[in-house]
Amino acid sequence: MKPIPAYIIIAVFAVIMVFGSIYVYNNEDGSYEASAEINGDGTVTYSLSGPDSVFTYSVFANTKLPEKLFLYCDDSYKSDLNDRYTQREFLTVLQQLLERRGMASEFADADDLVDIMGHSDYAVFFVSGALPDTVYDGKADGDSLFVRWLSEGGTVYWTGPEMGRYVSTQNSIIDYGTGFFGGDVLISDENYEFAHIESDMFRYTQIRYDDCKYGLRADRADSQPLSYISDGGYSSVSVAKVLGGNVTVFGGNLATTNIVFQVLLDRTCCADMLICGLTYESQGLDHGEGTVKGSLSASTDVDVSSASGRMFLIIVGNPASNWSKAMDLSGE
Amino acid sequence: MTEHSALAEKFDRMKHPFAVLMIIGLAIRLIIAPLFTFNIDLGYWAEVIDVFQNGFGLYGTAGYYYTPIWGYYLGSIASFMEFFGITDYGVFIPELTRFVYSDFSVSSFVTSIEFNFLVKFPLILVDAATGWLIYHLVFKYSENRNKALLAFALWFFCPIVITESTFHGTFDNMSVMLLLASIVLMMDRRYTLAGAAFSAAALTKFFPMFMIFFLVAYVLRKEGLDIRGVKCVLKAIAGAVGAFLLIYLPDIIRGDFWQSLFFITSRIGITRETLASIGPGTTIAIIAAIAIIIGIIAFVVAKYGNRFKERMYAMDDRERNLKAAKALAISAAAAIILVAVVMVIRALLKTEGPAFGGSELVLLVSVFSIFLEIYLAFRLLMLKEMDTEKVFTIMFLSGIAIILWTCAASYTIVMIPFICIYAAMIDNRFVKPFIIFSILYAITEIASFLLSPTSMIIHIFDMDISVILPMYELLADPVILGISGAMILTLLVGWPGYISMLYISFKWYREYYERWKA
């Protein structure tokens, strides 16, 4: 009696392994293409091609993409607030996600920030939870380089404890008690605080990020929640006007999030948000969703011709996005 | 040996009993699979697919923690879904996120009906394939169709098996299928292929590794404790290495090999950072060390194996077994103490490595299991005749020695085929204890069963999560002393399950040990 069942099982298993490994490692470069252009009647015609998937699209007004994006990480600076390896790993992954979505970014250390903050059209992403002493002195109303840069319109993406409260040096972390947001930040002893009420902008942003620890109050002046709001009124992702600049605050700390089921979802949400340059003045103009099977071309219904700073965002995939692209429609 | 005559009669009355049982078992699973789901893992599988759909392969970012085999399986499912235009994986429900960190963990992603079905369907076929292997093995070595059918039925209708493939959607059964394929091939002297299958089994889930002693002992006992036997073992090792390289090639090229072991190393406290820091030099040194150890063992066995065997055979069986048991018991105690001391020191120094805590006790029990497996392998090696009953008894004992600790129901899957085979082939008096164990242990998943209609509520009845949210609150929120309702429920129903599992070993010991000793 030959071991026929074992032969068949091993053969089928081998086929599945080969098939699966090819698929797993065949998604390196992103296999979607998209374009969008505004029509004479103010609607938008967009096209999308690639593997079958669900997608959503949104049209925003008053967006502003930074000229350059820098990811702050300095191993020589004290950072007790979260693990250094985690910071670098998070930023490396974010960089890859952004690259896949057509947005370039560069790593920057504490000294680099001095030069970077000479350009108000640059943006910096911080996961360190503390600003380095090369650019900030712990006084939100002071005259540090960071304060001046923000006043001139700099853009910050922030995650972790309240921006401006902690200053890091090469030897220590100094707690100044408060930062740029005062009492508008959710301080909690819990590891996570979750929000689940969809904000008005959620429909357009589709940012499914729900940790609102360290999040801003949803009703804070000159700010708008982009994702979920908690029962207590705190936002998981907000973009706020701080001095003259744009500060986007992600609740919790994206780098240390280790909810197994949501790590990638959180990170792709972050990347999708970054590429479309939302500001505290941005508005959602139109939103739709569909399924791409090979390729499609369609038009939106809403006339967006009168808006300025128009951006068309298309996000493919679910639960986490597999790919996204933001297309500037302003023609400026 | 006794006959289960009532069942045998029923089988005799059936026209095509194997096909009938297969169809009934499949029908039960295919009805349940799309509708009822434990979302803890299904939601996670959807996220894993996102990891490689984002171009990270399997280990390019946090999100996938297993060895590559399950990732490749999900890759096949994803490509199938893509090919047939199935794009709906499910919905993110933020209301569920707050339960993710409770001691009864759930996923905040509620998978769609089609996703549930497509992920589980091949796992259901794995159940069937494993049943087929069990049938083949029992029929071949007992030459009794009814025994083969009984073993198949015990496996295929086992509530734990049905729960894990059909509700849970987890892949422990795949590892069991490959382990059994390896045993079938080994018994048929197809050593290279058996080694390949064993490698795939252990790379799917780690548990089959415990049976390596049984397999090596079987080959050496069958082929001889000499150069011939060593050659056969080396053939199996070549097959295992070949399969390993084929499975791991993409990950080795990408430098992700050590990351792929995170799920196992995390159990002993080794972080991703440490794994990421292991360079090619260390890897080569480890491979060289393993090769040297295998080489030395092979040389010693080839040269001195027969002499050792003769010396052992010259001793009285009882005296020999007692000596071996004593030696291994002392070694096991020393190893357990050593591991415990390392844990305590590391906990005190707060350095990386296994910390001493409740769940780490599992590691200590596993050390004991290893020595038990070695002892059973020794007994197999010392068999004077390759008696089917004795071989299958040792296989049964080796199977149940893998897990001696209280564990999730899915982990018990690895021992189930060996109990089914033993109960059907060697002693029917184990049928009832097995059925009781399989029912009681499946009930330990009661909290997950209560939440299993979530996909159906959201995707078929199109209802809001608020319909079932009170059940989540009841099960996942702390009830007493910070312990969740689900944990209390599991503790209440878990102990009978665990006792029923241990009872199988106890029953064997009580009824047979005296005879076995003789």
Q: Structural domain boundaries of chain B?
A: 5-517
> Nearest by CB to B55, which of A27, A210, A228?
A27
A195 Cα to chain B: minimum distance (Å): 7
Residue B516 pLDDT > 90, yes or no? no
ipTM of the complex: 0.89
A192 pLDDT more than 90: no
Q: Where are the domains of chain A?
A: 31-63+282-332, 65-275
Query: Does A42 have pLDDT greater than 70?
Result: yes
pLDDT in tens, B240-266: 999 999 998 888 888 888 888 877 777
Average pLDDT value over all residues in chain A:
90
Q: Judge whether B96 and B110 are in contact, CB under 8 Å.
A: yes
Which residues on B lie below 8 Å from A225 (Cβ)? none
- Kindly report the pTM of this predicted structure: 0.89
- Cα(A296)–Cα(A171) distance, rounded to whole angstroms? 56
The pLDDT-based confidence of A265 (bands split at 50, 70, 90) is confident
Choose the closest CB to B47 out of A97, A261, A291: A261
Is pLDDT larger for residue A158 or for residue A31?
Answer: A158
Give the model's pLDDT for residue B510.
84
Residue of B39, B53, B184 best to disrupt the A interface, most CBs of A under 10 A: B53
The percent of residues above 90 in pLDDT, for chain B, comes to: 59
Please tell me if residue A153 touches chain B, with a CB cutoff of 8 Å: no
- Confidence band, pLDDT 50/70/90 cuts, at residue A84: low
Segment among A23-27, A286-290, B26-30 with least mean pLDDT:
A23-27
Residue B14: pLDDT above 80? no
Residues 116-135 of B with CB under 8 A from A: 122, 129, 132-133
Nearest Cα of chain B lies from the Cα of A173 at a distance, in angstroms, of 22
The reported pLDDT for the residue numbered B353 is 53
pLDDT score of B85 more than 50: yes
Report CB contact under 8 Å: B50, A268.
yes
Q: Which residue of B has its CA nearest to A92?
A: B61
The answer, yes or no, to whether residue B271 has pLDDT greater than 80, is no
In a 13 Å sphere around the CA of B373, the CA atoms on its Cβ side amount to 24
- CB distance A24–B75 less than 8 Å? yes
Interchain CB contact of A260 with B (< 8 Å): yes
Q: What is the pLDDT of residue A259?
A: 61
- Residue A301, chain B, CB below 8 Å: the answer is no
Instruction: Give the pLDDT of residue B1.
Output: 45
pLDDT 10s digits, B97-136: 888 877 777 888 999 999 999 999 999 999 999 999 999 9
Residue B471 has pLDDT above 90, yes or no: yes
Per-residue model confidence as pLDDT tens digits over A141-151? 999 999 999 99
Question: How many CB atoms lie under 10 A from the CB of residue A298?
Answer: 13
Cα nearest neighbour of A93 on chain B: B61
Q: Which residues from chain A sit within 8 angstroms of residue B68, using beta carbons?
A: 21, 24
pLDDT surpasses 50 at B18: yes
Q: Is B287 on the interface with A (CB under 8 A)?
A: no
| Banded pLDDT at A187 (limits 50, 70, 90) | confident
Q: What pLDDT shows up at residue B304?
A: 93
Q: Which residues of B touch A5 (CB under 8 A)?
A: 129, 132-133, 136, 181, 184
> CA-to-CA distance for A227 and A248, rounded, in angstroms?
12
Helix (H, G, I), strand (E, B) or coil at A264: helix
Is B90 in CB contact (< 8 Å) with chain A?
A: yes
- A323:B54 CB<8 A: yes
Reply yes or no on whether the pLDDT at B8 is more than 80. no
> Looking at this protein, which amino acid is placed at residue B407?
C
What average pLDDT does range A187-203 have in this prediction?
89
Choose the weakest-confidence range: A60-74, A154-168, B421-435, B498-512. Answer: B498-512
User: Confidence class of residue A152 from pLDDT cuts 50, 70 and 90?
Assistant: very high
Q: Note every long-range contact of B503-508, with CB atoms under 8 Å and residues 24 or more positions apart, other chains counting.
A: B503/B433, B503/B437, B504/B400, B504/B419, B504/B430, B504/B433, B504/B434, B504/B437, B505/B397, B505/B400, B507/B429, B507/B430, B507/B433, B508/B396, B508/B397, B508/B430
A31-63+282-332: which CATH topology? Immunoglobulin-like (2.60.40)
pLDDT at residue B294 tops 80: yes
Which of the four CATH numbers 3.40.1130, 1.10.3470, 1.10.4160, 3.40.50 does domain A65-275 have? Answer: 3.40.50
**Nearest chain B Cα to A228, which residue?**
B94
> How close A221 gets to chain B, by Cα (Å)?
26
- pLDDT tens per residue across span B183-219: 999 999 999 999 999 999 999 999 999 999 999 999 9
**Any CB–CB contact under 8 A between A91 and chain B?**
no
pLDDT at B357 over 60: no
Closest partner residue to A21 (CB to CB) among B72, B177, B193 is B72
Confidence at residue B57, expressed as pLDDT on a 0 to 100 scale: 87
Q: Residues of A47-69 as b/e, b for ≥16 C-beta within 10 angstroms?
A: ebebbebbbbbbbbbbbbbbeeb
